[in-house]
């Protein structure tokens, strides 16, 4: 195994917020078409690190909107993905503070794993609801790394 490889494991996945709202606007659409699934999404991704505890927490907030361009929120999921990094201090670089002291490709990997967890949780939690057939589109995590 290479010395540059960062080993990590999942400490916990916490669902800190989950809600669905069957708004009147959605009821009308579902009445006309019971298979309606034209939703849009707003995704925010952020991360915090604790060098002392060897932990990185990635927070994913997913808002489910009724129509693109409108702020009619019908659902929200917020998930904290807590990762333990082995030898975090060894891989930490102060010059990379914007990416929590880590190489951007590694942070990207943590974001991708966290979004995958969000997809799975959304699928499970929305079973039997009006969002049961919703598919979360591809999410480009590079925009979160750059910001």
Interval 27-54: pLDDT, tens: 888 888 887 878 888 899 988 888 788 8
Question: pLDDT tens, 64-80?
Answer: 998 756 678 999 999 99
Length of the chain: 147
Those residues with Cβ within 8 angstroms of residue 138's Cβ, 6 or more apart along the chain or in another chain = none
In this structure, how many other beta carbons lie within 10 angstroms of the beta carbon of residue 21?
12
* Per-residue pLDDT at 137 exceeds 50: yes
CB neighbourhood size of 36 (10 A): 15
């Amino acid at each position: 195994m290479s010395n540059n490889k960062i080993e990590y494991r999942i400490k916990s996945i916490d669902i800190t917020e989950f809600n669905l709202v069957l708004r009147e606007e959605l009821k009308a659409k579902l009445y006309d078409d019971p298979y309606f699934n034209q939703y849009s999404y707003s995704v925010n991704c952020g991360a915090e690190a604790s060098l002392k505890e060897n932990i990185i927490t990635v927070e994913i907030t997913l808002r489910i909107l009724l129509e693109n361009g409108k702020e009619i929120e019908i659902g929200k999921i917020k998930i904290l993905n807590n990762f333990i990094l082995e030898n975090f201090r060894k891989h930490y670089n102060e010059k990379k503070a914007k990416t929590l002291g880590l190489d951007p490709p590694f942070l990207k990997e943590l974001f991708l794993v966290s979004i995958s967890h969000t997809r799975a949780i959304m699928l499970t939690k929305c079973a039997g609801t009006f969002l049961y057939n919703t598919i979360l589109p591809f999410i480009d995590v590079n925009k979160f790394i750059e910001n």
